[in-house]
Structure 1
């Protein structure tokens, strides 16, 4: 490892080899990448370790510059390991370019069953002795990283000193149908709040939707096919602290006049493609519903099926009335694999995963009820991404867990708050408040 510097911190790149299938330790291996971070004035200090598990699934650890966001607070007390979970970032990648090396769609789907929280936790346990010398470490889990942390507590709590969760306490037993049945009303509330803040966006959104319907979708300059359903999925922005403002600025720049008539502007097309493409995180789309599977029932495109129970999200019906167009939120639908060039080659693979019936349970409520690891969780009171009621029920199951329920932040509070969220969670697990 050759250390290098950024403002206030010293970093080192670390590489690990782990089994693809932990039940076959002598079989095929994959590589993991992680970035070690320590404060510049503590490079020689004996510090405990904190491993950060990013949200997702399928998202690499965030690339900070210096002590941005929560990292500046964490390095005052810890050496931090920013882990690119398997299949992401600089770890052995999994996407449209690499998955054909596995074979056809069935082989690809079989391969990807080993990329859920259970495998990620076993990766952590395998590399932990190499990092800490065997000492337990602290886990900071954001969103899906909190799902992984909950699985960690369910399976190998001896590897944990402390657990901090932000916006990521999962339901312990809900099927994906239950997750989305709870999600659509939350999404509708977020959209209503956005239109209350920016009433001019009601007409802007309808105008864009009408244009897309009249043109049977528009192929953007980067190859993404923007249908009205894909346009509605921009509502995923509304789950973040500044997302409503970002959506507003995106909508106001939608149209230009051309010699051929009104068209979607290049700037709008570029911004939409950047917001909707899964090129940088294909596993987010392919594995999204698989993170909720707890039994033999297939997910079967739960978000798409459950959406039919909420006809107010039907764009065609909305445009035939005077109702505002509703955006959708954090959900993945089969049409995304037709719209997104990064996903098109994975359409059949995703279908096979959606019908899979052999996923194993991820959580052990009985073991969580006997938990002895200090745990604190930030629960955002109307989180678009993770249902608050589900999180509170899980919080009551995990023995000793302390919660901080807040409406100060949205789902990205750990990043948006600077040091505040992590500082509050550390104070809770240390009984300072």
Structure 2
């Protein structure tokens, strides 16, 4: 930390919001080298502002997504008992963001990006903990990729933790990226079936769109050509409650005329497909599974084993997969293509988890495992749950992957498991 640490305080809606901006090393192995900004927002109920509440760090899903702005619904279930900390993980939001603007043209872009995985995020969190709590352990709530980070935290810095809550984010400790996507494609197919069962007419609409894209040079408002394979990536949000329906409402307005895609459709679709706001998600998505081996564009290679995604009838959308051709077709990613290929070829990835340390874990852990999670494999999560000593799993069919965002009951139930 430095003498330039800053705090800004706001009050509204019955809460006190305190912004913290501080500096951490870019490379924790070289603490005297380049430093980057780290932003976190503290939230506490105004009625408990002066109470000695314990701290709860929230780790957002992603990778490459900033912490939520405003007051997430689960804060109501947390802020009466904790001082909540929303962290913009390194490279996102106000934490020295990595974007096309800041990365393009850098000869060291790939090497720099290798410092933005869960291991570095945990080391950032430990410096933040020292700054905010005075060294006292804190609770951690990890959603999705944030749960992956929490598992890394349990592996390498458990002394910083008093308890851990994980929602939809128990990773396999040993699976390769190939293993992850080989298990994921069938789940995506199942979610396609659920989508088209709910909206039976949408498959015909999607096929009509694909037929036009195969024959016509259709351009998005940005000027990028819309291809069938890129249109298929609109299924990325199928695993969340809200976006499952959002695609249907988008398809409803697909046509301005029988063979003409509407401007409204193309504008909204571009917003859904572009990675301009979160390029790190595309750059690091496969790297979050890498431990000692190259990912080598696993999702693209494994897709060849699933001809159902060839774009013909029956039409199927893809899910949370990143493909090398996205770095040519998405203008926000194109300047980062070389870095993306370097990351895919890199082999010397350090371990993200320590199975031996997790087997002797002493930190209380409660984890929500969603029975129908499109993004995180249930069986892999259950295997990990049994490998972490003291972890209490809650397997539930009642929530999608974004259950924490949709209902405060998710965190309330997890708290009850550790504090009956």
TM-score between both structures, scaled by the size of structure 2 = 0.97
Shift of 1:43: 1.1
Residue 315 (structure 2) pairs with residue 325 (structure 1): yes
Match of residue 422, structure 1, among 379, 387, 411? 411
Q: Is the 8 A contact 2:25 2:32 kept in 1?
A: yes
The residue that corresponds to 2:10 in the other structure is: 4
Could you tell me how far apart the structure 2 residues matched to 1:283 and 1:224 are?
A: 20
Partner SS, residue 366 of structure 2: strand
The residue that corresponds to 1:276 in the other structure is: 273
Q: Is the 8 A contact 2:361 2:389 kept in 1?
A: yes
Partner SS, residue 411 of structure 2: helix
The residue that corresponds to 2:255 in the other structure is: 255
Could you tell me how far apart the structure 1 residues matched to 2:70 and 2:46 are?
A: 15
Could you tell me how far apart the structure 2 residues matched to 1:356 and 1:219 are?
A: 34
Could you tell me how far apart the structure 1 residues matched to 2:119 and 2:357 are?
A: 16
Question: What is the correspondence of 1:37-76 to structure 2 with a 5 Å cutoff?
Answer: 37-65=43-71, 68-76=72-80
RMSD: 1.1
TM-score between both structures, scaled by the size of structure 1 = 0.94
Match of residue 314, structure 1, among 292, 303, 310? 310
**In the TM superposition, what whole-angstrom CA distance separates every residue of 1:179-216 from its partner, at most 9, and x where no partner exists?**
00000000000000111111001100100111111115
Shift of 1:132: 0.5
Could you tell me how far apart the structure 2 residues matched to 1:262 and 1:197 are?
A: 25
Shift of 1:5: 1.6
Q: Is the 8 A contact 2:8 2:20 kept in 1?
A: no
Residue 402 (structure 2) pairs with residue 412 (structure 1): yes
Match of residue 329, structure 2, among 313, 328, 339? 339
Residue 94 (structure 2) pairs with residue 93 (structure 1): no
Q: Is the 8 A contact 1:125 1:159 kept in 2?
A: yes
Shift of 1:262: 3.4
Match of residue 36, structure 1, among 33, 36, 42? 42
Partner SS, residue 211 of structure 1: helix
- In structure 2, runs of 5+ residues without a counterpart are 1-6
Question: What is the correspondence of 1:69-148 to structure 2 with a 5 Å cutoff?
Answer: 69-100=73-104, 103-104=106-107, 107-148=108-149
Aligned residues: 414
Shift of 1:86: 0.4
Could you tell me how far apart the structure 2 residues matched to 1:161 and 1:205 are?
A: 49
The residue that corresponds to 2:347 in the other structure is: 357
Shift of 1:244: 2.4
Q: Is the 8 A contact 1:56 1:143 kept in 2?
A: yes
